[in-house]
């Protein structure tokens, strides 16, 4: 029964990873005619001392710390607003908020490049200038070391919130309506019903969506590659950007595989944290 | 003889060639971007042309193409066309600030003259942005467009830690910081008249000439120290080492280098014809033609070839990052020193690419 699935896992997940793990202890350079050498933990030692990687990981962490709570809260707010059984326009709004998820990031990034255009002609600058009654100093968001990462965060939240919203809506729909009726009979107001019924019942779904967003926050790549190339001066570089650049631009397979192993460790750690969070509930 | 032609999308061209090489499935003849040649030779993918190429075709080849196709003393590739860089200018605007208009590389503006002109133009310009460096282009453009600056200053991609390199790229950073450069997100800075000068290659001529007609002028890139330098190099043809009938493959290359083919190809893509005889027949590039500057740069060596090293993919990736960082305000010396270190480390990791 399980064998086809296990075989698929072995062939397409475990085997490539095992290979990456092995290659991470070599100096393999893509297409090099020289024989590859075992270099022990050299690649890992270099990563450990690489300030560019430290910067990239710090960016991933900042990204996760801002985007995960922000995007989860926003998705929850949208889901609660749209969870109105029998409301005809709900479908339309759901589609609107979900649409960015379906757009390819390459398209989204091109549009946001124009939104972030430098100077007061840029829509984002113009909006901020209008909101601040003209006090806003126009900025080149994507090339400003202070703003570039934040600019990528904003577009990522806009693009990703729809998916979380849909998952949370699914969670909301599974909460039996008699719980709300009972709470109402007991005199609970809307805010209390949200805190005492909705949130506890959504707990697992929320943990899942937060975990998913955290993992996505550690593999942020497309928007970085298209909009900033990790710049200015590393301000938006990420683990995945470093990895792809090592492998496919700089052809350093040994280093890229060591980065892959690092990435898998981070994902395992996050997944472990989720399991811990879920188990606590069972106690 | 029959030919089977396979088109590959440009973005992933090199990875597909690498995959085909690993699988032992390279075609007989390969066309690819010039600076990749040295890596392909190092990998053993290409065979030297040696006596396969007609003597007449070899002597007729542009010197810049012969240089591009030669690695460790042997010629491996031929190009049907080459490329060039220059400043496209608006004559009326430049004359209104009293600028001298050089038309030959030996007359190029010095840096002091160039900066004076930029500042004068900026004073008369609505937003002060008067120069387009095509910062909207991505990737290889940055190396193609700005490594000649290093050479013109007396450094090059293999010597990024020289003070000349830092001095030259500091100028670039200052132009950016002084707001002289149009970010050109819409690729229309020059045709919409937002800038007076556009730093770009031969390929923009049709669009620019159509828009500005007689007001358009072609100016060599400024002299950063040892003379003006243009970019050079483009896609070229080589015979792979697994080709079973190199003689017949070479026949095809010889055929491509005949005037008729070269002129038809360059009429199509607008590039500089790759042979001396075709240049003499090209209305755009012959003596007195409107694009003579580009062919003169290639014929007389006013250009900077990208370095002939198998490390090229690594070098260009590191340099592109350095240029992006510098243009957007990173400390120039530090960026260049760390780039030079990365390049040196990669050479050590690859046993100096022997």
Query: Which residue in this structure is represented by tokens 């697992």?
Result: A204
Per the omega criterion (within 30 degrees of 0), is the bond before A20 cis?
no
Q: Identify which of A33, A113, A117 has the shortest CB distance to residue B43.
A: A33
Instruction: Mark yes or no for CB contact B324/A27 under 8 Å.
Output: no
CA-CA distances (angstroms) from residue B305 to A35, B64, B312? 30, 8, 12
Instruction: Mark yes or no for CB contact A231/B325 under 8 Å.
Output: yes
pLDDT at position A1, please?
A: 60
pLDDT at position A159, please?
A: 92
Q: Which domains does chain B have, with CATH numbers?
A: 25-82+237-304 (3.40.190.10), 85-231 (3.40.190.10)
Q: Is residue A213 scored above 80 in pLDDT?
A: yes
Domain boundary assignment for chain A: 51-282
B-chain residue closest to A46, CA distance: B345
Query: Which residue in this structure is represented by tokens 């975990």?
Result: A211
Q: Is residue A12 scored above 60 in pLDDT?
A: yes
- Looking from the CA of A21 toward its CB, the CA atoms found within 13 Å total 8
A-chain residue closest to B127, CA distance: A119
Question: B159: exposed, middle or buried (C-beta count within 10 Å: 0-12, 13-18, 19+)?
Answer: middle
Q: Identify which of A117, A143, A249 has the shortest CB distance to residue B317.
A: A249
Helix, strand or coil, per DSSP, at residue B126: coil
Q: Which residues contact B152 (CB under 8 A, 6 or more apart)?
A: B168, B221, B222, B223, B224, B225, B226, B227, B228, B229, B304
pLDDT at position A281, please?
A: 61
**Percent over 70 (pLDDT), chain A:** 98
pLDDT band at A5 (very low <50, low <70, confident <90, very high): confident
Give the mean pLDDT per block of 10 residues along chain B (354 residues): 80 81 88 94 94 93 96 96 97 96 96 97 93 92 97 95 96 95 92 96 95 96 97 96 93 95 93 96 95 96 95 95 94 96 94 91
> What is the CATH architecture assignment of A51-282?
Orthogonal Bundle (1.10)
Closest CA to A238 of A266, A270, A210: A266
Helix, strand or coil, per DSSP, at residue B220: coil
Strands B77-78, B230-231: parallel, antiparallel or unpaired by DSSP? unpaired
Q: Identify which of B183, B314, B351 has the shortest CB distance to residue A251.
A: B314
Closest CA to B289 of B299, B297, B279: B279
Report phi then psi at B275, rounded to 5. Answer: -125, 155
A-chain residue closest to B331, CA distance: A233
pLDDT at position A283, please?
A: 45
- Global ipTM: 0.87
pLDDT tens-place string over residues A63-72: 999 999 999 9
B-chain residue closest to A34, CA distance: B350
Instruction: Mark yes or no for CB contact A117/B185 under 8 Å.
Output: yes
pLDDT tens-place string over residues A126-179: 999 999 988 888 888 999 999 999 999 999 999 999 999 999 999 999 999 888
Q: Does A27 touch chain B (CB under 8 A)?
A: yes
Query: Which residue in this structure is represented by tokens 């400003």?
Result: A144
Helical (H) or strand (E) element with B231: strand B230-231
Alpha helix (H) residue ranges in B231-304: 246-256, 259-269, 276-281, 292-300
Q: Each residue of B104-140: b (16+ CB within 10 Å) or e?
A: ebeebbebeebbebbebbbeebeebbbbbbbbbeeee
pLDDT at position A187, please?
A: 86
Closest CA to A143 of B205, B181, B348: B181
């Amino acid at each position: 029964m399980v064998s086809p699935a296990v075989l698929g896992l072995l062939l397409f997940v475990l085997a490539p990873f095992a290979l990456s793990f092995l290659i991470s202890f070599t100096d393999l350079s893509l297409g090099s005619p020289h024989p590859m050498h075992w270099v022990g933990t050299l690649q890992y030692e270099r990563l450990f001392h690489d300030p560019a990687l430290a910067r990239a990981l710090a960016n991933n962490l900042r990204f996760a710390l801002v985007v995960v709570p922000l995007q989860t809260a926003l998705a929850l707010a949208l889901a609660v607003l749209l969870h109105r059984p029998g409301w005809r326009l709900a479908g339309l709004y759901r589609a609107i908020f979900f649409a960015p998820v379906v757009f390819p990031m390459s398209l989204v990034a091109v549009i946001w490049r124009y939104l972030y255009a430098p100077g007061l002609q840029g829509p984002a600058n113009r909006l901020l200038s209008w909101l601040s009654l003209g006090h806003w100093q126009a900025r080149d968001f994507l090339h400003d070391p202070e703003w570039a990462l934040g600019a990528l965060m904003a577009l990522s939240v806009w693009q990703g919130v729809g998916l979380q919203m849909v998952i949370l809506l699914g969670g909301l729909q599974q909460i039996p309506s008699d719980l709300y009726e009972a709470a109402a009979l007991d005199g609970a107001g809307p805010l209390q019903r949200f805190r005492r019924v909705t949130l506890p019942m959504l707990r697992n779904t929320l943990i899942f969506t937060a975990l998913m967003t955290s993992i996505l926050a550690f593999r942020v790549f497309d928007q970085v590659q298209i909009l900033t190339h990790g710049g200015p001066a590393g301000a938006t570089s990420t683990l995945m950007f470093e990895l792809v650049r090592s492998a496919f631009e700089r052809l350093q397979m040994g280093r890229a595989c060591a980065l892959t192993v690092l990435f898998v460790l981070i994902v395992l750690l996050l997944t472990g944290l989720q399991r811990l969070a879920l188990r606590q509930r069972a106690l | 003889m029959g030919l089977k032609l396979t088109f590959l999308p440009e973005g992933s061209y090199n990875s597909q060639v690498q995959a085909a090489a690993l699988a032992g499935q390279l075609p007989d003849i390969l066309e690819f971007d010039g600076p990749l040649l040295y890596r392909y030779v190092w990998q053993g993918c290409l065979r030297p042309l040696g006596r396969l190429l007609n003597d007449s075709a070899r002597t007729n080849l542009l010197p810049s193409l012969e240089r591009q196709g030669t690695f460790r003393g042997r010629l491996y590739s031929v190009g049907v066309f080459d490329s060039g860089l220059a400043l496209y200018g608006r004559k009326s605007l430049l004359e209104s600030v009293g600028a001298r208009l050089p038309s030959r590389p030996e007359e190029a503006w010095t840096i002091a003259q160039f900066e004076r002109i930029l500042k004068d133009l900026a004073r008369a310009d609505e937003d002060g942005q008067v120069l387009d460096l095509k910062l909207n282009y991505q990737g290889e453009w940055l190396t193609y467009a700005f490594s000649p600056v290093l050479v013109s200053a007396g450094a090059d991609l293999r010597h990024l830690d020289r003070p000349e390199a830092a001095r030259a790229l500091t100028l670039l950073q200052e132009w950016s910081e002084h707001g002289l450069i149009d970010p050109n997100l819409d690729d229309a800075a020059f045709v919409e008249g937002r800038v007076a000068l556009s730093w770009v290659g031969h390929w923009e001529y049709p669009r620019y000439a159509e828009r500005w007609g007689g007001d358009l002028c072609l100016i060599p890139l400024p002299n950063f120290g040892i003379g003006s330098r243009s970019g050079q190099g483009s896609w070229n043809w080589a015979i792979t080492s697994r080709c079973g009938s190199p003689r017949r493959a070479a026949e095809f290359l010889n055929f491509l280098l005949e005037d008729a083919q070269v002129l038809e190809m360059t009429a199509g893509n607008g590039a500089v014809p790759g042979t001396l005889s075709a240049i003499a027949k090209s209305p755009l590039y012959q003596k007195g033609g409107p694009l003579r500057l580009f062919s003169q740069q290639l014929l007389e060596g006013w250009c900077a070839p990208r370095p002939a090293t198998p490390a090229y993919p690594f070098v260009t990736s590191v340099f592109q990052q350095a240029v992006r960082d510098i243009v957007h305000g990173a400390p120039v010396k530090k960026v260049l020193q760390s780039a030079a270190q990365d390049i040196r480390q990669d050479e050590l990791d690859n046993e100096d690419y022997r």
